[in-house]
Amino acid sequence: MTTLQHGGGSGEPIETDVVIIGAGPVGLFAVFELGLLDIKCHLIDILDKPGGQCAELYPEKPIYDIPALPVVSGQELTDRLLEQIKPFEPTFHISERVDELERQPDGRFLLRSDAGTQFLTKIVVIAAGGGSFTPKRPPLPGIETYEGSSVFYSVRRMEDFRGRDILIVGGGDSALDWTLSLQPIANSLTLLHRRDDFRAAPHSVEKMRELVAAGKMRLMIGQMAGLQGSDGQLESVAVKTKEGEETLKIDRIMPFFGLTMKLGPVANWGLNLEENLIPVDTEKFETSEPRIFAIGDINTYPGKLKLILSGFHEAALMSQAAHRYVYPDKKLLFQYTTSSSNLQKKLGVR
C-alpha cells in the first residue's frame, strides 16, 4: 500500500535508504527502479498531491511522447505511475518542503522539512523539477514588505483573520473556498476578480453570490493597482474597476494567481549549480556531492532534454549507482522484469 502522510511531527528522524525530493513523474518512476533493487524510499513534495508539473500545470492536457502510450493526460500519467510503484510501498510526505540538507559525520544526510519532519538517509535523490511550486506574487510595488503580516498566500491560523478587513483576489477554488470560510469571522470581506465569471465549483460560486445578495460581503470586478501602509501593516488597497479607481480600507489580502516554480531551498545545499540547474554525470546522474543524485528537469548535462522520457532513463541508471552505495557487498545482476522470477516476486505478480 502507498502511504500518504500529511504534515509531519518533530522528534526522531525517520531512517531510510533513500529520500526523493520531489514527487513529479521522474521522482515517482525512481521509486520503481529503486524498488526493483530492494531500495525503499520516502518522497517529499510541497504540492498537496503527487505528479509535479503533470498534475499541477496540465492534468487534463494530452502528452504524446511517452513511449507506448500514444496519448495520455498529465493526470492519467500520474495515476498510472502511482499504480506501477504501489508494490514498493513508498511513503509520501505531501504539502512539505525540504528546507535543509546536511551531511552527517557518518556519511548519511539529515534532511529537515518546513513542517519539522526529519530524515536520516543514505542517499538523496533530487527530482525537484523546476523547483518548488510557490504561489505567484502579484507584481505590485512593495508587496513583499507586507508578506507574512498583511499579505498571505495560505492560511496557517484562522485567528490572524478574525475581525479584519479582508480582500481575496482570484476566481478559482482557493479564492472562493477562502471567501466562504473567512467571511463569518471577518469584519468585512471583499472578493476581487477580473471578470464576473468564476472557474470555481458552481456551488461555492452560488453560495458567494447569496452572501453578496444578503449584504454580507462585497464582490468587485476589477484588479489591484497599488498598496498603501507602513511597517508591514497594510492600510488600504487601490482597486481599478471599469468605473475608475477606488481605495478600499483593507488590512489582509489573499492573492490567488496560481503557482509557479522557484528553485527554492535546493540552492542552499552547497551543490554546484549552472543557471539554476544541477550538473550531473551521465553514467550515474550524481551531483558534485557523492551520494546525492539529481534526475529529471532539475539536472543538466551535455545534450540534456527536459522530457519525461529522459527523466525515466536517468532514474534507471541512478538506481544502479545507488545500489552500490546501499548494498556495497552485493553484486548486481542485470535482469528483465519479463523473465526474472525474483523481480516478479517484488512486483507481486508471482
Ligand X SMILES: Cc1cc2nc3c(=O)[nH]c(=O)nc-3n(C[C@H](O)[C@H](O)[C@H](O)COP(=O)(O)OP(=O)(O)OC[C@H]3O[C@@H](n4cnc5c(N)ncnc54)[C@H](O)[C@@H]3O)c2cc1C
Q: Do residues 308 and 26 touch, judged by C-beta distance below 8 A?
A: yes
Is residue 34 a contact point for ligand X (CB under 6 A)? no
Is residue 318 a contact point for ligand X (CB under 6 A)? no
Burial of 140 (0-12, 13-18, 19+ CB in 10 A): middle
Greatest CA separation found in the chain? Answer: 75
> To the nearest whole angstrom, how small is the minimum distance from the Cβ of residue 225 to another protein?
9
> To the nearest whole angstrom, how small is the minimum distance from the Cβ of residue 336 to another protein?
35
> To the nearest whole angstrom, how small is the minimum distance from the Cβ of residue 143 to another protein?
11
- Going residue by residue from 151 to 190, which x/- string records binding to ligand X, judged by CB under 6 A? ----------------------------------------
The CA-atom distances, in angstroms, between 325 and each of 130, 256, 280, 292 are 27, 44, 17, 11
* SS3 of the chain: helix, strand, coil, percent, to 5: 30, 30, 40
Using the structure block, give the residue that is written with the C-alpha cell 527502479: 33
Is residue 171 a contact point for another protein (CB under 8 A)? yes
Name the segment binding ligand X (CB under 6 A); options: 125-133, 148-156, 276-284, 317-325. 125-133
For 272-302, letters b (16+ CB in 10 Å) and e give ebeeebbbbeeebbbbebebbbbbbbbbbee
- Going residue by residue from 46 to 75, which x/- string records binding to another protein, judged by CB under 8 A? -----------xx--x--------------
Report the residue from 108, 193, 252, 323 that binds another protein according to the rule CB under 8 A: 193
Residues 266, 245: Cα–Cα separation, whole Å = 42
Phi, psi (deg, nearest 5) at residue 326: -75, -40
Q: Where are the alpha helices (DSSP H) in the chain?
A: 25-36, 52-56, 74-85, 173-182, 202-213, 308-326, 341-347
Q: Which of residues 120-139 bind another protein (CB under 8 A)?
A: 136-139
Phi, psi (deg, nearest 5) at residue 221: -105, 110
How many residues sit close enough to ligand X to count as binding (CB under 6 A)?
36
Question: Which run of H or of E encompasses 233?
Answer: strand 233-241
Residues 23, 2: Cα–Cα separation, whole Å = 13
122, interface contact from another protein, ligand X, none, CB < 5-8 Å by kind: none
- Going residue by residue from 270 to 309, which x/- string records binding to ligand X, judged by CB under 6 A? --------------------------xx--------xxxx
Name the segment binding ligand X (CB under 6 A); options: 1-9, 131-139, 198-206, 270-278. 131-139
Binding site for another protein (CB under 8 A): 57-58, 61, 136-139, 170-172, 193-195, 197, 199, 223, 257-258, 260
Residues that bind ligand X (CB under 6 A): 21-22, 24-27, 44-47, 52-54, 57-58, 63, 65, 97-98, 127-133, 264-266, 296-297, 306-309, 311
